[in-house]
């Protein structure tokens, strides 16, 4: 049972909804040169396979806008145009077929130019993400609040949202991102208390894979457990597919989304009765990774009789080793005892049977 959702407005992005009771959406961002249409399309398709539901592209120049227009007919994924500094690029992204645009008001400070973007989005029924990072808070607010801190970021978001509302535009998603875990949590809690727009969560400049996974989990976990956050993007220096993988693991761990099988395994110690349990777990995980993403099952692989039987009993399918045998559990019941040397073969056989029989559960909302 996941945390209770925060009540927000619902925003339509392509064929998907964000907020308003929709599941927490997983986003990713392409890392190719957007001007390279084929390379970017290949990465979009790879991200879709990995589980990205919404995909963002950097649009730094007119050539990238032309590439977005060429990409648009070849994917049904909702595409977000990420634009900075030049309001004309934001308008061009809308014309090229973006399903949402992300702008940072800190680097488009002229209200007249900003309004041109809002009017173009309003005409096309396309939402805007007000994306504010700690590194680009307007200087007036930095001075007022004594730094680019959580309160300054929230003030920037509230000012911009209020301005957009005065212009008759409220199809908004808001993000407040910092490279600081504590500041990210504080800013989004303050924001959630003041506005009811959907919130996009992430930690900016979070670093390489392991560092990012830890920092993102520590920042997003407490917020999502409070029902704060309607869409997430994990920032990793490297393969964008890893960003999607980490996002899904966070959401699955919190009980917010289901996607594919889960492996529960012990860390091993001197009590482990298998000669190489880590290798066994790796092979089982590899097989489960090939399963259909709708196969939402949990498989436990446990090396001894201390916690093994309990964990195996709680899983859809599990194996717990003793000194003399491998005990196979299914739906809480022991169904077989086999020699330890046959543990892998026996478990894989039961996995295949369960994958054939297990119906896909409905996806959980936030």
Cα separation, 95 vs 303, in Å, equals 58
Looking at the structure, tell me whether residues 180 and 281 fall in a common domain.
Answer: no
- Overall pTM surpassing 0.85 (yes/no): yes
Residue 6 lies in a domain: no
Cα separation, 346 vs 364, in Å, equals 32
Looking at the structure, tell me whether residues 70 and 143 fall in a common domain.
Answer: yes
CB 87 within 8 A of CB 104: no
Looking at the structure, tell me whether residues 125 and 108 fall in a common domain.
Answer: yes
Looking at the structure, tell me whether residues 82 and 224 fall in a common domain.
Answer: yes
Burial grade of 336 (CB within 10 A; 0-12, 13-18, 19 or more) = middle
Q: Torsion over CA of 191, 196, 198 and 203, rounded to 10 degrees?
A: 10
Residue 362 lies in a domain: no
Domain boundary among 253, 275, 293: 253
Looking at the structure, tell me whether residues 36 and 177 fall in a common domain.
Answer: yes
Report the number of distinct structural domains present in the chain.
2
Looking at the structure, tell me whether residues 225 and 121 fall in a common domain.
Answer: yes
Q: Which residue range is the domain that position 342 belongs to?
A: 262-357
* CATH number for position 297: 3.30.413.10
Looking at the structure, tell me whether residues 267 and 349 fall in a common domain.
Answer: yes
Q: Return per-residue pLDDT of the chain as tens, 366 residues.
A: 455 667 899 999 999 999 999 999 999 999 999 999 999 999 999 999 999 999 999 999 999 999 999 999 999 999 999 999 999 999 999 999 999 999 998 888 899 999 999 999 999 999 999 999 988 888 899 999 999 999 999 999 999 999 999 999 999 999 999 999 999 999 999 999 999 999 999 999 899 999 999 999 999 999 999 999 999 999 999 999 999 999 999 999 999 998 888 899 999 999 888 888 899 999 988 888 888 887 788 999 999 988 888 888 899 999 999 988 999 999 889 998 999 999 899 999 998 888 888 655 555 443
Residue 364 lies in a domain: no
Cα separation, 183 vs 284, in Å, equals 39
């Amino acid at each position: 049972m996941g945390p209770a959702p925060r009540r927000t407005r619902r925003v339509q992005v392509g064929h998907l909804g964000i907020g308003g009771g929709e599941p927490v959406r997983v986003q990713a961002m392409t890392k190719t040169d957007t001007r390279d249409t084929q390379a970017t399309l290949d990465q979009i398709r790879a991200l879709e396979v990995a589980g990205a539901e919404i995909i963002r592209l950097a649009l730094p120049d007119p050539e990238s806008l032309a590439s977005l227009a060429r990409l648009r007919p070849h994917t049904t994924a909702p595409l977000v145009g990420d634009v900075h500094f030049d309001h004309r690029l934001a308008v061009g992204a809308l014309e090229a077929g973006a399903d949402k645009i992300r702008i940072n008001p800190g680097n488009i400070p002229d209200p007249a130019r900003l309004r041109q973007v809002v009017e173009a989005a309003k005409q096309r029924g396309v939402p805007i993400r007000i994306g504010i990072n700690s590194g680009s808070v307007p200087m007036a607010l930095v001075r007022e609040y004594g730094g680019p801190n959580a309160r300054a970021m929230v003030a920037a978001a509230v000012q911009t949202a209020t301005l957009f509302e005065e212009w008759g535009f409220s199809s908004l998603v808001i993000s407040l991102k910092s490279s600081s875990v504590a500041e990210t949590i504080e800013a989004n809690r303050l924001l959630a208390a003041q506005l009811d727009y959907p919130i996009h969560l992430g930690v900016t400049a979070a670093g390489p894979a392991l560092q990012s996974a830890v920092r993102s989990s520590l920042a997003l976990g407490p917020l999502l457990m409070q029902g704060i956050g309607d869409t997430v993007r994990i920032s990793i220096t490297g393969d964008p597919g890893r960003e999607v993988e980490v996002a899904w693991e966070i959401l699955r761990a919190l009980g917010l989304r289901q996607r594919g099988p889960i492996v529960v395994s012990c860390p091993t110690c001197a009590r482990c009765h298998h000669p190489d349990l880590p290798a066994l777990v790796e092979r089982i995980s590899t097989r489960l990774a090939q399963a259909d993403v709708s196969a939402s099952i949990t498989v436990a692989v446990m090396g001894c009789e201390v916690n093994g039987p309990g964990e195996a009993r709680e899983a859809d399918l599990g194996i717990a080793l003793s000194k003399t045998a491998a005990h196979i559990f299914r739906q809480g019941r022991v169904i077989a005892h086999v020699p330890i040397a046959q543990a892998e073969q026996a478990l894989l056989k039961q996995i295949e049977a369960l994958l054939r029989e297990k119906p896909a559960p409905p996806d959980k909302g936030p």
